[in-house]
Amino acid sequence: MIGYILRRLVSAVLVVIATSMIVFLLFTLGPSDPAQRLCSADRCTEERRALIHQSLGLDKPVVEQYLTWAKGVFVGRDVSYGPGFSVDCPAPCLGISYINKEPVFPTLMERFPATISIALGGFMYLIVGVIIGVLAARRRGTSTDRGLVASTLIISAIPYYLVALLAYLYLVLKWGIFSETSYVPLTEDPIGWAGALALPWLVLTVYFCVTYARFSRGSMIESLSEDYVRTARAMGVSESKVVAKHALRAAVVPVITIFGIDFATLLAGTVFTEAIFGINGIGRTALASITQGDLPIISATVLIGSVFIVIANLLVDIIYSFLDPRVRLS
C-alpha cells in the first residue's frame, strides 16, 4: 500500500516538474520583454531598461533562469529591478506581477476563496448526480429512467458556457429571479455568500450532475447484477441494505475516477463561471491578466491549476486503492 502511494507520489512530482518547465518556457518565449513591461518606452530611458533587464537576470541562459526561478519557489527570492527598487518575494515565489509589482502568489491566494466557494457548491452535483443515478438504476427500464437518460444526453450535449450565459442573462438580468452574482466572503456574510453564488451553483449542479447520474446509473446497474449482490439478496438482506452496503460501494468507485479525470474540465468550467457571473476568482484574474499582458500571473495560474489536477488525480488513485483492493496489488 505504502509502496503504491509512494510510486504515485514520485510520478506526480515528476509531472509537476515537467509542467513547471513548460510553463517557464512559455514565459521566456512569451511575447513581451519583462523589462519593457515594467518600464514602458514613453516613461523610461533605454539605459534604465537595460539595467532592469540585467537585474532580472534575463541575459542569462534559460536553464539558469529556470533554476533561479525554481529555487525561488521553495525559498523565496528578492526580485530586483535595478538600483532603488526590489521586491521581496517570499516562498512560494511564483514571480512578480508586471502591473502592480507585487508577488503573484499572495495575490492569487486572495482570489482563491472565491474559486473554492464556486467549486464547493459545485460538489453538490456529484452528490445529486450519484443519488439520481442510483435511483434511476433501481427503477431501470421505467419511463422515469428513460426520461432521465434522455435528458442527460441532451443537457450534457449543450456547451456549458451557453447554459451559464443564458441563465445569467435571463434569470438575473432580465427576470431578476436570482440576485446579482458576485463573491461575498463567507466569513463576512454567510447568507450573502450563499445568495450571491446560488445561481452559479445551480447551473453547475444541473449541468454536471447529469453526467454523474449517467455514470453512477451505469455502474450501479452493473454492480447490482454482480454475484455477491445476488448472494446477499438470496440471503434475505433487505433491498435498501443491499443497495447501500454492497452495490453502492462498488458503484462509487468508477464515479470517483471520473471525477478525478474531470477535474481539469471543472477548472476550465471555473474560468467560464467566473467570467460569466463576474466573480473575481483565479480564473477571472488569469483572464484579465491576458489583456494586461501580466504573464507572471498567467503562468502562475497555469502552474497552480496543474498542481491541483495532479493532486486530485493522486487523491483519486489513493481513495480508489482503498475502495478497490485489486489496484494495490497490480
Binding of residue 151 to other proteins (CB under 8 A): no
* Residue (201 or 219) nearer to other proteins, CB: 219
Number of residues that bind other proteins (CB under 8 A): 89
Number of other CB atoms surrounding residue 126 within 10 Å: 20
Cell 433491498 belongs to: 239
Nearer to other proteins, 86 or 237 (CB): 86
Residue 323, interface with other proteins (CB under 8 A)?
A: no
DSSP reduced 3-state for 76: coil
Give, in order, the Cα–Cα distances in Å from 82 to each of 41, 71, 208.
17, 20, 50
Return the SS3 of 87.
Answer: strand
The residues in 162-191 that bind other proteins, with binding defined as CB under 8 A, are: 162, 165-166, 169-170, 173-174, 176, 180
117 binds other proteins (CB under 8 A): no
Residues 118 and 204 sit within 8 Å (Cβ to Cβ): yes
Residue with smaller CB distance to other proteins, 99 or 202: 99
- Is the CB of residue 92 less than 8 Å from the CB of residue 105? yes
Q: Find out whether 52 and 38 touch, Cβ atoms under 8 Å.
A: yes
E-strand ranges in the chain read: 77-80, 86-89
By CB under 8 A, name the one of 6, 10, 100, 106 that touches other proteins.
100
Bridge partners (DSSP) listed for residue 114:
none
Q: CB-wise, 226 or 241, nearer to other proteins?
A: 226
- Rounded least distance, CB 11 to other proteins, Å: 7
Q: Does 287 bind other proteins (CB under 8 A)?
A: yes
Residue closer to other proteins (CB basis): 30 or 76: 30
Beta carbon nearer to other proteins, 174 or 326: 174
Q: Judged by CB under 8 A, which of 142, 151, 225, 265 binds other proteins?
A: 265
Alpha-carbon gap, residue 213 to 155, rounded angstroms: 12
Question: Interaction with other proteins in 197-216: which residues (CB under 8 A)?
Answer: 211, 215
Q: Distance between CA 274 and CA 183 in Å, rounded?
A: 10
For residues 46 and 48, give the distance between their C-alpha atoms in angstroms, rounded to a whole number: 6
Query: Quick check: 219 binds other proteins (CB under 8 A)?
Result: yes
Enumerate residues 31-60 that contact other proteins by CB under 8 A: 31-32, 36-37, 39-44, 48
For residue 281, state whether it binds other proteins (rule: CB under 8 A).
no
Q: Tell the smallest beta-carbon distance from residue 238 to other proteins (Å).
A: 26
16/237 with CB nearer other proteins: 16
Q: Closer CB to other proteins, residue 3 or residue 83?
A: 83
**What is the residue whose three cell numbers read 453538490?**
124
282/231 Cα distance (integer angstroms)? 50
Position among 302, 315, 318, 319 found at the interface with other proteins (CB under 8 A): 302
Residue 317 contacts other proteins per CB under 8 A: no
> Distance of CA 3 to CAs 6, 39, 89, 148, 313, Å?
5, 52, 37, 42, 17
- Where b means 16+ CB within 10 Å and e means fewer, 68-101 reads ebeebbeebbebbbbeeeeeebeebbbbbbbbee
Q: Taking CB under 8 A as the rule, does residue 115 contact other proteins?
A: no
Based on CB atoms, which residue is closest to other proteins, 237 or 302? Answer: 302
Interface residue with other proteins among 124, 292, 320, 328 (CB under 8 A) is 292
Contact flag: residue 14 with other proteins (CB under 8 A): yes
Q: Is 79 in the site for other proteins (CB under 8 A)?
A: no
Query: Is 30 among the residues that bind other proteins (CB under 8 A)?
Result: yes
